[in-house]
Amino acid sequence: MSARYDQIGRTYAKKRQPDPRIAAQIEAALGDVRSVVNVGAGTGSYEPTTVDGVAIEPSAVMISQRPPTAFPVIQARAEKLPLADRCVDAVMAVMTLHHWSDVALGLTEMQRVARRTVMIMTCDPDHEGFWLDDYLPGRRDLDQNDMPSLDWIENQFGSIEVQTIPVPFDCEDGFYGAYWRRPAAYLDPSVRDSISVFSRLDDVDYGLASLQSDLETGLWESRYGSVREHETLDVGYRLLIARIN
Ligand SMILES: C[S@@+](CC[C@H](N)C(=O)[O-])C[C@H]1O[C@@H](n2cnc3c(N)ncnc32)[C@H](O)[C@@H]1O
């Protein structure tokens, strides 16, 4: 089974470790569940340690980076979960929806398998205002194509609770918005290698050269330096919680 992350995921675990503050928010949202399926589980980030669990992941390269403490994994896709109806308390999916070929089918599968809760961490494609988008103007179009809107997701479930995920200034999970207070990090190819946006955009060289120049001349500081006043920032990440009856 070939998968995008077999190409772009080779160094994923180096920069994409779970951030403990986001992990705490996820565990609180899951509540007192005893069994969890993690769909699009990648290298195992955010899998709760005190429950029985199973991971679903299509990419062999990502599976090969899972630590021994992670859930046992089945190589499969969200669109066809090889699991029985209502077999676990909760089904979670973290930063993976935008990679699925059929999100509606994947969400239906999550609802079929969960007895109590479906929990999704995703990015709100309608969120505006993150300074990095000024350098990568194609990013919002990309996400509006690939990321389902929060309204659309809510329609799939009937209703959902939406929580903002405040991203800490020293976030340990190197996703797109993680380095909002460390702008030079985006100039490091090893940081970009773990962020799929950079492989999905056609041309990032011009934007990165502009960022480098603006950091050198102080223009970045004068335009965006006020972000340094914050400890956390809303850069569009959301935790969605659907309760199943
Ligand atoms: C950005 S990674 C997130 C991994 C992990 N959840 C995390 O938070 O680090 C996206 C993951 O989704 C997986 N994926 C892609 N298409 C998928 C599909 N159709 N069903 C399930 N997972 C998929 C990729 O292989 C990759 O491991």
Please name each of the domains of the chain with its CATH number: 4-243 (3.40.50.150)
Question: Which residue, by CA, sits nearest to atom 15 of ligand 1?
Answer: 99
Ligand 1 contact via 181 beta carbon (within 6 Å): no
pLDDT for 10: 84
Q: What is the mean pLDDT of the chain?
A: 95
Interval 134-176: pLDDT, tens: 999 999 899 898 899 999 999 999 999 999 999 999 999 999 9
Binned at pLDDT 50, 70 and 90, residue 1 comes out as very low
Ligand 1 contact via 186 beta carbon (within 6 Å): no
Element (H, E) at 238: strand 237-243
What Å distances lie between residue 139 and 26, 119, 125, CA to CA? 26, 25, 10
Question: Which residue, by CA, sits nearest to atom 19 of ligand 1?
Answer: 100
Please tell me the distance from the alpha carbon of residue 239 to that of residue 211, in angstroms, as a whole number: 30
Cα of 217 to ligand 1 centre, how many Å?
38
User: Mean pLDDT over residues 184-191, rounded?
Assistant: 96
pLDDT for 5: 87
Please tell me the distance from the alpha carbon of residue 45 to that of residue 26, in angstroms, as a whole number: 11
User: Does residue 124 sit in helix, strand or coil?
Assistant: coil
User: Mean pLDDT over residues 41-53, rounded?
Assistant: 96
Interval 208-243: pLDDT, tens: 999 999 999 999 999 999 999 999 999 999 999 999
Nearest to 200 by CA among 130, 131, 147: 147
User: Does the pLDDT value for residue 3 go beyond 80?
Assistant: no
CB 56 within 8 A of CB 81: yes
Rg (CA), the chain: 18
pLDDT for 7: 82
